[in-house]
Amino acid sequence: MSEIRIEHVSKSFNGQYAVQDANLTIADGEFLVLLGPSGCGKTTLLRTVAGLGMADSGRISIDGRDVTYLKPGERKISMVFQSYAIFPHMTVRDNIGFGLKMNNVPASEIQANVAEAAELLHIENLLDRRPSDMSGGQRQRVAVARALAMKAEVLLMDEPLSNLDALLRLEMRAELKRLLADVNATTIYVTHDQIEALSMGDRIAVMKDGEIQQVDGPSTVYDHPSNQFVGSFIGNPPMNFLTGTVSAANGSVSVAVGPDQITPAAALAPALKAFDQKPVTIGIRAESMEALSSPVPGAIKVSVVVVEPLGPQNLLTVGLGDQRLKVSTHPSFPVAAGDDLWLQFPSDQIRWIDPKTEQVLS
Ligand code: ATP
Protein backbone atom coordinates (compact mmCIF):
# COMPACT_ATOMS: atom_id res chain seq x y z
CA MET A 1 0.00 0.00 0.00
CA SER A 2 1.46 3.37 -1.01
CA GLU A 3 -1.34 5.85 -0.91
CA ILE A 4 -0.16 9.47 -0.94
CA ARG A 5 -2.25 11.97 0.96
CA ILE A 6 -1.77 15.69 0.55
CA GLU A 7 -3.85 17.63 3.07
CA HIS A 8 -4.22 21.41 3.14
CA VAL A 9 -0.70 21.93 1.82
CA SER A 10 0.37 25.52 1.17
CA LYS A 11 3.73 26.96 0.18
CA SER A 12 4.65 30.60 -0.44
CA PHE A 13 7.66 32.38 -1.87
CA ASN A 14 8.15 36.04 -0.99
CA GLY A 15 4.63 36.32 0.37
CA GLN A 16 3.05 34.86 -2.78
CA TYR A 17 1.30 31.50 -2.75
CA ALA A 18 2.96 29.00 -5.10
CA VAL A 19 0.60 26.30 -3.77
CA GLN A 20 -2.53 27.15 -1.83
CA ASP A 21 -4.46 24.66 0.29
CA ALA A 22 -3.83 21.64 -1.93
CA ASN A 23 -5.83 18.52 -1.08
CA LEU A 24 -5.24 15.37 -3.04
CA THR A 25 -5.25 11.65 -2.36
CA ILE A 26 -3.42 9.41 -4.81
CA ALA A 27 -4.45 5.79 -4.50
CA ASP A 28 -2.00 2.91 -4.25
CA GLY A 29 -0.70 2.16 -7.75
CA GLU A 30 -2.46 5.15 -9.30
CA PHE A 31 -0.90 7.35 -11.99
CA LEU A 32 -1.88 10.93 -11.18
CA VAL A 33 -0.90 13.79 -13.47
CA LEU A 34 -0.43 17.32 -12.13
CA LEU A 35 -1.30 19.55 -15.08
CA GLY A 36 -1.32 23.30 -15.49
CA PRO A 37 0.34 26.26 -17.19
CA SER A 38 3.86 27.38 -16.41
CA GLY A 39 4.17 28.86 -12.93
CA CYS A 40 0.93 27.36 -11.55
CA GLY A 41 2.74 25.49 -8.76
CA LYS A 42 3.05 21.92 -10.08
CA THR A 43 6.75 21.55 -9.38
CA THR A 44 6.43 23.23 -5.99
CA LEU A 45 3.72 20.76 -4.98
CA LEU A 46 5.75 17.80 -6.26
CA ARG A 47 8.80 19.02 -4.35
CA THR A 48 6.84 19.13 -1.11
CA VAL A 49 5.92 15.47 -1.66
CA ALA A 50 9.55 14.66 -2.48
CA GLY A 51 10.88 16.51 0.54
CA LEU A 52 12.97 18.85 -1.60
CA GLY A 53 10.96 21.82 -0.35
CA MET A 54 9.06 21.81 2.92
CA ALA A 55 5.38 22.79 2.98
CA ASP A 56 4.64 25.93 5.02
CA SER A 57 1.51 24.27 6.33
CA GLY A 58 -0.51 21.12 5.84
CA ARG A 59 0.38 17.46 5.99
CA ILE A 60 1.75 14.88 3.58
CA SER A 61 1.56 11.18 4.29
CA ILE A 62 2.73 8.16 2.34
CA ASP A 63 1.27 4.80 3.21
CA GLY A 64 -0.23 6.34 6.35
CA ARG A 65 3.15 7.60 7.57
CA ASP A 66 3.46 11.36 8.15
CA VAL A 67 6.41 12.43 5.96
CA THR A 68 5.76 16.21 6.01
CA TYR A 69 9.06 16.98 7.71
CA LEU A 70 11.14 13.99 6.63
CA LYS A 71 14.19 14.28 4.39
CA PRO A 72 13.83 12.95 0.81
CA GLY A 73 15.91 9.85 1.64
CA GLU A 74 13.54 8.95 4.45
CA ARG A 75 10.40 9.04 2.30
CA LYS A 76 10.88 5.86 0.22
CA ILE A 77 10.35 7.66 -3.06
CA SER A 78 12.10 7.75 -6.40
CA MET A 79 12.31 10.74 -8.73
CA VAL A 80 12.86 11.60 -12.39
CA PHE A 81 13.57 15.22 -13.30
CA GLN A 82 13.23 17.20 -16.49
CA SER A 83 17.00 17.61 -16.57
CA TYR A 84 17.52 13.79 -16.23
CA ALA A 85 20.30 14.50 -13.68
CA ILE A 86 22.39 11.59 -14.93
CA PHE A 87 26.19 11.57 -14.82
CA PRO A 88 27.58 11.85 -18.37
CA HIS A 89 30.95 10.20 -17.67
CA MET A 90 29.67 7.28 -15.62
CA THR A 91 28.55 4.15 -17.49
CA VAL A 92 24.84 3.56 -17.92
CA ARG A 93 25.17 0.59 -15.55
CA ASP A 94 26.68 2.78 -12.82
CA ASN A 95 24.15 5.52 -13.44
CA ILE A 96 21.24 3.14 -13.03
CA GLY A 97 22.75 1.62 -9.91
CA PHE A 98 23.83 4.93 -8.40
CA GLY A 99 20.90 5.46 -6.01
CA LEU A 100 21.08 1.87 -4.81
CA LYS A 101 24.81 2.18 -4.15
CA MET A 102 24.22 5.36 -2.17
CA ASN A 103 21.72 3.38 -0.07
CA ASN A 104 24.39 0.70 0.59
CA VAL A 105 22.40 -1.99 -1.18
CA PRO A 106 24.48 -5.21 -1.62
CA ALA A 107 26.26 -5.48 -4.99
CA SER A 108 24.38 -8.61 -6.07
CA GLU A 109 21.04 -6.89 -5.51
CA ILE A 110 22.22 -3.79 -7.41
CA GLN A 111 23.25 -5.98 -10.31
CA ALA A 112 19.88 -7.71 -10.41
CA ASN A 113 17.87 -4.48 -10.14
CA VAL A 114 19.98 -2.75 -12.81
CA ALA A 115 19.55 -5.68 -15.19
CA GLU A 116 15.80 -5.76 -14.63
CA ALA A 117 15.34 -1.97 -15.08
CA ALA A 118 17.54 -1.98 -18.20
CA GLU A 119 15.49 -4.81 -19.67
CA LEU A 120 12.21 -2.99 -18.96
CA LEU A 121 13.51 0.04 -20.83
CA HIS A 122 15.16 -1.96 -23.61
CA ILE A 123 18.62 -0.53 -22.92
CA GLU A 124 20.45 -3.75 -21.98
CA ASN A 125 22.82 -3.16 -24.92
CA LEU A 126 23.78 0.28 -23.61
CA LEU A 127 24.89 -0.72 -20.12
CA ASP A 128 28.61 -0.23 -20.79
CA ARG A 129 28.20 3.02 -22.72
CA ARG A 130 28.38 6.52 -21.33
CA PRO A 131 25.42 8.96 -21.53
CA SER A 132 27.75 11.62 -22.95
CA ASP A 133 27.62 9.86 -26.31
CA MET A 134 23.99 8.85 -26.33
CA SER A 135 20.83 10.41 -27.80
CA GLY A 136 18.31 12.37 -25.74
CA GLY A 137 15.84 9.50 -25.82
CA GLN A 138 18.45 7.01 -24.64
CA ARG A 139 19.48 9.32 -21.78
CA GLN A 140 15.85 9.70 -20.85
CA ARG A 141 15.52 5.93 -20.64
CA VAL A 142 18.56 5.79 -18.37
CA ALA A 143 17.00 8.34 -16.02
CA VAL A 144 13.74 6.38 -15.87
CA ALA A 145 15.63 3.07 -15.42
CA ARG A 146 17.55 4.58 -12.50
CA ALA A 147 14.29 5.61 -10.84
CA LEU A 148 12.73 2.17 -11.40
CA ALA A 149 15.81 0.32 -10.15
CA MET A 150 15.21 1.86 -6.73
CA LYS A 151 12.00 -0.20 -6.57
CA ALA A 152 10.36 2.56 -4.62
CA GLU A 153 6.62 2.27 -4.35
CA VAL A 154 6.27 5.99 -5.02
CA LEU A 155 7.55 7.53 -8.22
CA LEU A 156 7.65 11.30 -8.72
CA MET A 157 8.28 12.58 -12.25
CA ASP A 158 8.74 16.23 -13.22
CA GLU A 159 8.26 16.85 -16.96
CA PRO A 160 10.43 13.83 -17.80
CA LEU A 161 9.76 14.03 -21.55
CA SER A 162 10.08 17.77 -22.03
CA ASN A 163 13.59 17.69 -23.51
CA LEU A 164 12.69 15.26 -26.26
CA ASP A 165 11.68 16.11 -29.81
CA ALA A 166 8.01 15.68 -30.72
CA LEU A 167 8.32 12.24 -32.31
CA LEU A 168 10.41 10.74 -29.54
CA ARG A 169 8.09 12.25 -26.99
CA LEU A 170 5.16 10.49 -28.60
CA GLU A 171 7.03 7.18 -28.56
CA MET A 172 8.29 7.54 -24.96
CA ARG A 173 4.81 8.57 -23.79
CA ALA A 174 3.34 5.23 -24.81
CA GLU A 175 6.39 3.33 -23.51
CA LEU A 176 6.27 5.05 -20.14
CA LYS A 177 2.57 4.36 -19.84
CA ARG A 178 3.09 0.65 -20.48
CA LEU A 179 6.07 0.54 -18.14
CA LEU A 180 4.39 2.31 -15.27
CA ALA A 181 1.35 0.06 -15.59
CA ASP A 182 3.73 -2.91 -15.25
CA VAL A 183 5.65 -1.65 -12.20
CA ASN A 184 2.47 -0.49 -10.48
CA ALA A 185 4.15 2.28 -8.46
CA THR A 186 2.03 5.13 -7.12
CA THR A 187 3.06 7.91 -9.48
CA ILE A 188 2.75 11.69 -9.55
CA TYR A 189 3.68 13.02 -12.96
CA VAL A 190 4.06 16.75 -13.62
CA THR A 191 3.45 18.16 -17.09
CA HIS A 192 2.12 21.29 -18.77
CA ASP A 193 1.23 19.21 -21.84
CA GLN A 194 -2.47 18.47 -21.76
CA ILE A 195 -2.22 15.74 -24.42
CA GLU A 196 0.37 13.94 -22.29
CA ALA A 197 -1.93 14.29 -19.29
CA LEU A 198 -5.00 13.02 -21.12
CA SER A 199 -3.17 10.10 -22.68
CA MET A 200 -1.27 8.90 -19.62
CA GLY A 201 -3.09 9.75 -16.40
CA ASP A 202 -5.52 7.58 -14.47
CA ARG A 203 -6.62 10.93 -13.07
CA ILE A 204 -5.56 14.50 -13.73
CA ALA A 205 -5.30 17.28 -11.15
CA VAL A 206 -5.57 20.59 -13.02
CA MET A 207 -3.85 23.52 -11.30
CA LYS A 208 -4.05 27.27 -11.81
CA ASP A 209 -2.40 30.01 -9.74
CA GLY A 210 -1.38 27.57 -7.00
CA GLU A 211 -4.84 26.07 -6.61
CA ILE A 212 -6.16 22.69 -7.70
CA GLN A 213 -9.17 23.32 -9.93
CA GLN A 214 -10.39 19.80 -10.64
CA VAL A 215 -9.29 16.22 -10.05
CA ASP A 216 -10.92 13.65 -12.31
CA GLY A 217 -10.31 11.02 -14.97
CA PRO A 218 -9.19 12.23 -18.42
CA SER A 219 -12.59 11.90 -20.09
CA THR A 220 -14.32 13.76 -17.26
CA VAL A 221 -11.93 16.72 -17.23
CA TYR A 222 -12.30 16.87 -21.02
CA ASP A 223 -16.09 16.45 -21.25
CA HIS A 224 -17.15 17.92 -17.92
CA PRO A 225 -14.68 20.63 -16.89
CA SER A 226 -15.58 22.11 -13.53
CA ASN A 227 -14.93 25.64 -14.73
CA GLN A 228 -14.05 27.74 -17.76
CA PHE A 229 -10.30 27.59 -17.09
CA VAL A 230 -10.24 23.77 -17.22
CA GLY A 231 -12.30 23.79 -20.45
CA SER A 232 -9.92 26.30 -21.99
CA PHE A 233 -6.72 24.58 -20.86
CA ILE A 234 -7.65 21.05 -21.89
CA GLY A 235 -8.25 20.17 -25.51
CA ASN A 236 -6.81 21.31 -28.78
CA PRO A 237 -8.58 23.44 -29.82
CA PRO A 238 -9.79 24.57 -26.40
CA MET A 239 -13.49 24.48 -25.59
CA ASN A 240 -15.44 27.27 -27.33
CA PHE A 241 -17.10 29.90 -25.17
CA LEU A 242 -20.00 31.96 -26.45
CA THR A 243 -22.22 34.48 -24.76
CA GLY A 244 -25.99 34.00 -24.79
CA THR A 245 -28.90 35.67 -22.98
CA VAL A 246 -31.28 33.62 -20.89
CA SER A 247 -35.01 34.03 -21.09
CA ALA A 248 -37.18 32.16 -18.64
CA ALA A 249 -40.89 32.59 -19.10
CA ASN A 250 -43.97 30.44 -18.54
CA GLY A 251 -41.87 27.63 -17.13
CA SER A 252 -39.67 27.28 -20.20
CA VAL A 253 -36.07 28.39 -20.55
CA SER A 254 -34.28 29.34 -23.75
CA VAL A 255 -31.02 31.09 -24.49
CA ALA A 256 -30.67 33.62 -27.30
CA VAL A 257 -27.46 33.52 -29.29
CA GLY A 258 -27.65 36.37 -31.78
CA PRO A 259 -30.99 35.98 -33.57
CA ASP A 260 -31.16 32.22 -32.80
CA GLN A 261 -32.31 30.29 -29.74
CA ILE A 262 -30.89 27.28 -27.89
CA THR A 263 -33.09 25.14 -25.69
CA PRO A 264 -31.12 23.73 -22.74
CA ALA A 265 -31.48 20.19 -21.42
CA ALA A 266 -34.37 19.96 -18.97
CA ALA A 267 -32.02 19.09 -16.10
CA LEU A 268 -30.19 22.41 -16.49
CA ALA A 269 -33.26 24.61 -16.83
CA PRO A 270 -33.68 25.21 -13.06
CA ALA A 271 -30.07 26.45 -12.72
CA LEU A 272 -30.46 28.70 -15.78
CA LYS A 273 -33.68 30.30 -14.53
CA ALA A 274 -31.58 32.30 -12.07
CA PHE A 275 -29.99 34.02 -15.08
CA ASP A 276 -33.28 35.27 -16.56
CA GLN A 277 -32.55 38.27 -18.83
CA LYS A 278 -28.86 37.97 -18.00
CA PRO A 279 -25.88 36.69 -19.93
CA VAL A 280 -24.62 33.14 -19.59
CA THR A 281 -21.55 31.53 -21.12
CA ILE A 282 -22.05 28.55 -23.39
CA GLY A 283 -19.16 26.09 -23.48
CA ILE A 284 -19.00 23.57 -26.33
CA ARG A 285 -16.23 21.54 -27.94
CA ALA A 286 -15.35 21.88 -31.64
CA GLU A 287 -16.33 18.28 -32.36
CA SER A 288 -19.59 18.42 -30.39
CA MET A 289 -21.50 20.57 -32.89
CA GLU A 290 -23.07 19.22 -36.03
CA ALA A 291 -22.50 21.35 -39.13
CA LEU A 292 -25.17 21.43 -41.81
CA SER A 293 -25.11 23.10 -45.23
CA SER A 294 -28.74 24.20 -45.05
CA PRO A 295 -30.99 25.55 -42.30
CA VAL A 296 -32.96 23.28 -39.96
CA PRO A 297 -35.10 24.40 -37.02
CA GLY A 298 -32.99 25.03 -33.90
CA ALA A 299 -29.68 25.27 -35.79
CA ILE A 300 -27.58 28.42 -35.47
CA LYS A 301 -26.42 30.25 -38.56
CA VAL A 302 -22.71 31.05 -38.79
CA SER A 303 -20.35 32.11 -41.56
CA VAL A 304 -17.12 30.29 -42.31
CA VAL A 305 -14.02 32.47 -41.91
CA VAL A 306 -11.18 29.95 -42.31
CA VAL A 307 -10.94 26.25 -43.21
CA GLU A 308 -7.86 24.39 -41.95
CA PRO A 309 -7.51 20.86 -43.34
CA LEU A 310 -5.81 18.77 -40.62
CA GLY A 311 -5.97 15.32 -42.19
CA PRO A 312 -8.58 13.37 -40.23
CA GLN A 313 -10.67 16.53 -39.77
CA ASN A 314 -11.15 20.04 -41.07
CA LEU A 315 -10.96 22.72 -38.41
CA LEU A 316 -13.25 25.63 -39.23
CA THR A 317 -13.18 29.08 -37.71
CA VAL A 318 -16.70 30.44 -37.97
CA GLY A 319 -18.20 33.81 -37.10
CA LEU A 320 -21.40 34.26 -35.14
CA GLY A 321 -21.89 38.03 -34.96
CA ASP A 322 -18.65 39.26 -33.46
CA GLN A 323 -17.97 35.92 -31.70
CA ARG A 324 -15.64 33.28 -33.14
CA LEU A 325 -15.99 29.50 -32.80
CA LYS A 326 -13.88 26.50 -33.79
CA VAL A 327 -15.84 23.68 -35.39
CA SER A 328 -14.44 20.39 -36.59
CA THR A 329 -15.96 18.66 -39.59
CA HIS A 330 -15.22 15.48 -41.49
CA PRO A 331 -12.88 16.10 -44.47
CA SER A 332 -15.62 14.89 -46.81
CA PHE A 333 -18.00 17.66 -45.67
CA PRO A 334 -17.93 20.30 -48.44
CA VAL A 335 -17.06 23.71 -47.02
CA ALA A 336 -15.10 26.83 -48.01
CA ALA A 337 -14.33 30.21 -46.48
CA GLY A 338 -17.27 32.58 -47.04
CA ASP A 339 -19.94 29.81 -46.86
CA ASP A 340 -22.89 30.00 -44.52
CA LEU A 341 -23.34 27.02 -42.20
CA TRP A 342 -25.90 25.94 -39.64
CA LEU A 343 -24.71 24.45 -36.38
CA GLN A 344 -26.67 22.16 -34.14
CA PHE A 345 -25.71 22.27 -30.46
CA PRO A 346 -26.78 18.95 -28.88
CA SER A 347 -28.13 19.93 -25.47
CA ASP A 348 -26.15 17.20 -23.67
CA GLN A 349 -22.90 18.60 -25.09
CA ILE A 350 -23.40 22.17 -23.86
CA ARG A 351 -21.74 23.28 -20.63
CA TRP A 352 -23.48 26.30 -19.10
CA ILE A 353 -21.15 28.62 -17.24
CA ASP A 354 -21.80 31.47 -14.83
CA PRO A 355 -19.92 34.40 -16.43
CA LYS A 356 -19.10 35.92 -13.02
CA THR A 357 -17.71 32.87 -11.18
CA GLU A 358 -16.69 31.00 -14.36
CA GLN A 359 -17.99 27.81 -12.72
CA VAL A 360 -19.91 25.27 -14.81
CA LEU A 361 -23.55 25.07 -13.70
CA SER A 362 -25.00 21.75 -12.63
P1 ATP B 1 6.78 25.25 -14.79
O2 ATP B 1 5.85 24.40 -15.61
O3 ATP B 1 7.19 26.50 -15.51
O4 ATP B 1 7.90 24.48 -14.18
P5 ATP B 1 5.25 25.12 -12.31
O6 ATP B 1 3.78 24.99 -12.49
O7 ATP B 1 5.99 23.88 -11.99
O8 ATP B 1 5.88 25.84 -13.57
P9 ATP B 1 6.46 26.24 -9.98
O10 ATP B 1 7.84 26.01 -10.47
O11 ATP B 1 5.95 25.36 -8.92
O12 ATP B 1 5.44 26.22 -11.20
O13 ATP B 1 6.34 27.75 -9.53
C14 ATP B 1 5.15 28.27 -8.90
C15 ATP B 1 5.42 29.71 -8.51
O16 ATP B 1 6.36 29.76 -7.45
C17 ATP B 1 6.00 30.57 -9.62
O18 ATP B 1 5.46 31.86 -9.53
C19 ATP B 1 7.48 30.58 -9.32
O20 ATP B 1 8.08 31.76 -9.80
C21 ATP B 1 7.50 30.53 -7.80
N22 ATP B 1 8.69 29.83 -7.29
C23 ATP B 1 8.97 28.51 -7.44
N24 ATP B 1 10.13 28.19 -6.81
C25 ATP B 1 10.59 29.34 -6.26
C26 ATP B 1 11.74 29.68 -5.47
N27 ATP B 1 12.65 28.75 -5.13
N28 ATP B 1 11.88 30.95 -5.09
C29 ATP B 1 10.95 31.90 -5.40
N30 ATP B 1 9.85 31.65 -6.12
C31 ATP B 1 9.67 30.40 -6.56
Å from CA of 44 to ligand 1 middle: 6
Look up residue 46 and give its DSSP letter: H
Element housing 202 (H / E): none
60: left (phi over 0), alpha (psi -120 to 50) or beta: beta
Spell out where 144-221 has E strands.
154-158, 186-191, 203-208, 211-216
Ligand 1 atom 19: residue of nearest CA: 39
What pLDDT shows up at residue 176? 84
Longest dimension (CA), the chain: 80
Contact between 190 and 159 under an 8 Å Cβ cutoff? The reply is yes
Residues 303 and 294: their CA atoms lie apart, in Å, by 12
Residues 267 and 260: their CA atoms lie apart, in Å, by 21
What pLDDT shows up at residue 291? 96
Which of 10, 14, 19, 40 gets mutated to test ligand 1 (max ligand atoms within 8 A of its CB)?
40
Superfamily of domain 240-353: Nucleic acid-binding proteins (2.40.50.140)
What pLDDT shows up at residue 138? 85
Ligand 1 atom 30: residue of nearest CA: 13
CATH number assigned to the domain covering 4-233: 3.40.50.300
Query: Is any atom of ligand 1 closer than 6 Å to the C-beta of 35?
Result: no
Domain ranges for the chain: 4-233, 240-353
Which of 12, 38, 42, 44 gets mutated to test ligand 1 (max ligand atoms within 8 A of its CB)?
44
What pLDDT shows up at residue 84? 67
For the entire predicted model, the pTM comes to 0.91
What pLDDT shows up at residue 9? 98
What pLDDT shows up at residue 141? 85
Å from CA of 43 to ligand 1 middle: 7
Average pLDDT, consecutive stretches of 10 residues, N- to C-terminus, the chain (362 residues):
94 96 97 96 95 94 94 87 79 93 91 91 90 84 89 90 80 84 90 93 97 98 97 95 92 90 92 95 97 93 96 96 95 96 95 97 93
